[in-house]
Amino acid sequence: MAGAKQWCMNAGRTIFAQLADHLPHKEFQKCVARYRGDANPRGFTCWDQYLAMAFAQLTYRESLRDIEACLGAMQGKLYHMGFRGRVARSTLADANDAHDWRIYADFAQVLIATARPLYAADPMGVELKQSLYALDSTTIDLCLSLFPWARFRRHKAAVKMHTLLDLRGNIPTFIHITDGKVADVNVLDEFLPEAGAFYVMDRGYIDFERLYRFTLESAFFVVRTKTNVLLQRRYSHPVEPASGVRSDQTVILTSISSASAYPEALRKVSFVDAETGKRLVFLTNNFSLPAATVAAIYKQRWQVELFFKWIKQHLRIKAFYGTSENAVKTQIWIAVSVYVLVAIVRKRLELKDSLYQILQVLSLTLFEKTPILQALQQIDSQLELTCSGNQLNLFSL
């Protein structure tokens, strides 16, 4: 517990203030200065805004009025929690519209860079020495009359949250927020693959010109293929039927356009899931891993689905505090940063409990004046009963 001791000498300070101690304030101010966020603060700075929005995320506030009422009831404690401006719903609404969302996006990346080394030794559920990332998107439905800038269909608005998840610790390393009409595959143009790393994706990311860029960058992909992809077998390799693998083949693309976009051989692995009986067919540019490991890598893709489910359920991104594009992106990025902050605190305090359990305790104790480690070590195991047991087993951060 040596690493945790430095964070537990906080008697007399609120848990919220102790939690904020884990935020690198100097780095936050660099992000603010980068986009001149406090050029016209009007008594309510970007830091005040961040703290108010983080409080709202942690305590499940439903509206700006709700945030104002709760923080107003604790007016005497706000200064010691880091607030310097008065929290009113009008000033918070103005800040959400005016303060550039990129401040909070950049700050989330600072926290991500802090969190990833903390989880670097964590298991991924598959025997793999290299980094493993899962790429997917989730659609957040909006009301078209309130969010006309996010038109998705004729009577519907939506934004998409494209996420690249590091499966060591389930830490999001890349997030791209677009309107709901943007195709998933387009996000492959937005990041540079890491040499030697593995990327697991579903069928929506089949674009051979874009996938060939992974090969050129010495990165590996595992993607579920589509039935209309035309392939020609060159070689068949031995398989162990008991592993669920039905075939392991070296193939080439045969349509002119696909073969032109991806001129090299691919590996096709056919696998039957023993639990569901479903047959899955994968394409990969890696020829050295056992075929069963390729299938196991694809199975880990569900971690990103669970991340989306978890963050929608336990952080406030489905009920927005503002209707402008800037306000929506600000709220999403602050939600992500709160998720990563709690992940950082979990490691620094050497806690074994899930993020869900920790967030439940924080939501009830933010204004208490007790050492944060002491509060979090007293997590009642009964809290697990309020969450799906399957979810905690599958997503047990």
Identify the DSSP state of 370: S
Lowest mean pLDDT among 71-75, 161-165, 229-233, 393-397: 393-397
| Tokens read off for 225 | 């293929």
Q: What is the pLDDT of residues 346-369, one digit of tens each?
A: 999 999 888 888 888 888 888 888
Higher pLDDT, 221 or 92: 221
Pick from 203, 198, 279: which is nearest to 245 by CA? 279
Q: Phi and psi at residue 177, in whole multiples of 5°?
A: -105, 125
Q: How many other C-beta atoms can be found within 10 angstroms of the C-beta atom of residue 97?
A: 14
How many whole angstroms from its chain centre is CA 96? 21
**pTM for the full predicted model:** 0.85
The CA distance from 125 to 297, in Å, is 8
Contacts of residue 157, Cβ cutoff 8 Å, sequence gap at least 6: 141, 142, 143, 144, 146, 147, 148, 150, 151, 180
Give me the domains of the chain, ranges plus CATH numbers: 2-106+319-394 (no CATH), 125-304 (3.90.350.10)
Contact 47, 119 (CB under 8 A): no
Contacts within 8 Å (CB) and 24+ apart, 366-370: 366/14, 366/15, 366/16, 366/19, 366/55, 366/58, 366/59, 367/14, 367/15, 367/16, 367/74, 367/77, 368/14, 368/15, 369/11, 369/12, 369/13, 369/14, 369/15, 370/11, 370/15
DSSP result, 259-300: HHH--S-EEEEEEE-TTT--EEEEEES--SS-HHHHHHHHHT
Query: How distant, in Å, are the alpha carbons of 61, 66, 339 from that of 316?
Result: 8, 13, 11
Give the pLDDT score at 327.
92
pLDDT band at residue 41, thresholds of 50, 70 and 90?
low
The CA distance from 361 to 380, in Å, is 9
Higher pLDDT, 252 or 78: 252
Instruction: Provide the mean pLDDT of the chain.
Output: 86
Give the pLDDT score at 282.
96
Contacts of residue 264, Cβ cutoff 8 Å, sequence gap at least 6: 212, 215, 285
Give the pLDDT score at 79.
64
Q: Phi and psi at residue 138, in whole multiples of 5°?
A: -130, 145
Q: Phi and psi at residue 280, in whole multiples of 5°?
A: -120, 140
The CA distance from 186 to 196, in Å, is 22
